[in-house]
Amino acid sequence: MRRVALVGTGVGKFGVRKASYRDLIWEAGKACFDSVPAVKPKDLQGIVVGSVMPERTAFQSHISSLAAEALGIKPSHLSARTEHMCASGTVGIRYAYAFIAAGLADLVMVLGVEKLNQPSGDEA
């Protein structure tokens, strides 16, 4: 099994505001790329997005495809979404770790995104 390292991080703004899923993805993704200037979107072989019920909470599906397109990533090895309630991002990290450790990819972005202010109170 190969050794795996975390090479960059980024965080977007928190709080209630008018921002689309694409906006939230762009903020976090840009912050991550800014933390490691040598890594460009073209270098990534995969993307894993952790998100819970985006179809219900933000009327958005196909989150990993949306994230790849918004960030200019063309994932050749992996494009996936993890959905495990509050652990979605953590599970995404484990998923990317296993993929890299197994030698199936060299560089994968893991992104977590939630937009919880759009459903009605009964749905939230």
Cα pseudo-dihedral 39, 41, 46, 48, rounded to 10: 100
Q: How far is CA 29 from CA 96, 103, 108, in A?
A: 16, 24, 12
Tokens at residue 49, please? 């997005």
Per domain, the residue ranges of the chain are 40-112
- pTM confidence score: 0.88
pLDDT of the residue at 118: 59
What superfamily would CATH give domain 40-112? Thiolase/Chalcone synthase (3.40.47.10)
Give me the pLDDT at residue 22, please.
92
* Spatial separation of the C-alpha atoms in residues 114 and 58, rounded to whole Å: 8
Whole-angstrom Cα distance, residue 13 to residue 19? 10
Residues of the chain with pLDDT under 70: 117-124
Q: What is the pLDDT of residues 40-74, one digit of tens each?
A: 999 999 999 999 988 887 778 899 999 999 999 99
> What pLDDT is attached to residue 53?
86
pLDDT of the residue at 54: 84
